[in-house]
Amino acid sequence: MRFNGATLIMIYLVIIAGSIVRITESGMGCPDWPKCFDQYIPPTDISELPENYQYYYSSVREKKIKKFTSFLKSIGLEEKAILIESDKSLLYEQPFNVWNTWLEYINRLIGALAGLFIFGGFILALKQKKDKILKSLLAFGLILLTFFQAWWGSMVVATNIVPWVLTVHMVIAALMITWQILIISFWNRSTISIPKSLKLIALFGTLFFLFQIIVGTQVRQIVDHWLESSSRNDLLLEKFQLFISHRTIALFIVLFSLFLGLYAYVKKVKILEIYIFLFCVLLEGLVGKILADFNLPYILQPIHLLLAMISFGCMSRLLFNYKISNN
């Protein structure tokens, strides 16, 4: 049980590390994957790289993009594949920056360590006597999801961080949290029973929060483009509706958390996850307000994402960890 809890913490650490990489624009610090500049230990100076390194990694990226777009076409996403193929800016290879390179490298090391924890969970499941098959299947399912996430992460790098590709990367991370919470709940499910209506509320909260994470990721991408755009006002007007949607959903989530807290009080349901959820949502709303009003302070962006993911995890925990009462 403790090992599974540690694995969940590792998944959260990967998300935090990824957020730090995102806000420091270090995602392309390593132009290839899984190595970094074709090395297991990345360089610390540009002199360690060949003179034509930008051209070389640009050509490598072009080959990966062709494979990725072929995959997209095979699953019916031909329009998105054509957009990626036609965007020649994706082949741009940024100049070497030692800080960006090592931030991305550390992010990958944390991801690899999380992968080892996930694999260790599978080994532990195989050694169990009770519910061995189901525990093993759940653990193996998470391994498959982890491999897919790693491959998709390599496509994030290959496509030079195309917005929707990054959004899918974030959604998979959220699904990994839910999956690991399901594993933890199956290994050691609480004996506390909750009303069926609370289960339905938790299901709604989980799906609603996942949608908000998707919208929030898109907003983050728009901000990046806005900061880089020469016609900021036009871009802001074009995407204004998405900002409004994000804020409106945030308001509904705050109201939802207050309703959940009131529900727990009236029904005398004393469950820690509800109070953690309430605290995180209110704090996240405050952080979001500061982000909007004070030009997105870098230090608060990973905190904003972490609070969102913890809130999402609390809803998943309510959904999977508690039995339905007979009342």
Q: Is the pLDDT of residue 232 over 50?
A: no
- Phi and psi angles of residue 189, each rounded to the nearest 5 degrees, phi first: -75, 140
Mean pLDDT over 303-327 rounds to 87
What residues contact residue 276 under an 8 Å CB cut-off, 6+ apart? Answer: 310, 314
User: Could you give the CA distance from residue 21 to residue 16 in angstroms, rounded to a whole number?
Assistant: 9
**In the chain, what percentage of residues exceed pLDDT 70?**
90
- Of 142-146, 185-189, 236-240, 284-288, the poorest mean pLDDT is in 236-240
Q: Is the pLDDT of residue 238 over 60?
A: no
Q: With contact defined as beta carbons under 8 Å apart, do 313 and 177 qualify?
A: yes
Per-residue confidence band for 18, with pLDDT thresholds at 50, 70 and 90: confident
pTM of the model: 0.86
pLDDT in tens, 76-126: 888 888 888 888 877 777 888 899 899 989 999 999 999 999 999 999 999
User: Could you give the CA distance from residue 83 to residue 186 in angstroms, rounded to a whole number?
Assistant: 43
- What local confidence, expressed as pLDDT, does residue 148 receive? 92
CA dist 176 → 3, 8, 52, 83 (Å): 16, 9, 39, 29
Mean pLDDT over 148-172 rounds to 82
* Site of tokens 């900021």: 232
Q: Is the pLDDT of residue 153 over 80?
A: yes
User: Could you give the CA distance from residue 87 to residue 30 in angstroms, rounded to a whole number?
Assistant: 21
- What local confidence, expressed as pLDDT, does residue 240 receive? 60
- What local confidence, expressed as pLDDT, does residue 116 receive? 95
Q: Where are the alpha helices (DSSP H) in the chain?
A: 2-23, 53-74, 78-86, 98-126, 132-158, 163-187, 196-228, 232-266, 272-293, 300-321
Sign of the Cα torsion 55, 56, 58, 62 reads positive
Q: Is the pLDDT of residue 177 over 90?
A: yes
- What local confidence, expressed as pLDDT, does residue 231 receive? 45
- What local confidence, expressed as pLDDT, does residue 327 receive? 59
- What local confidence, expressed as pLDDT, does residue 285 receive? 86
Q: Please give the residue that has the higher pLDDT: either 14 or 87.
A: 14
Mean pLDDT over 161-187 rounds to 89
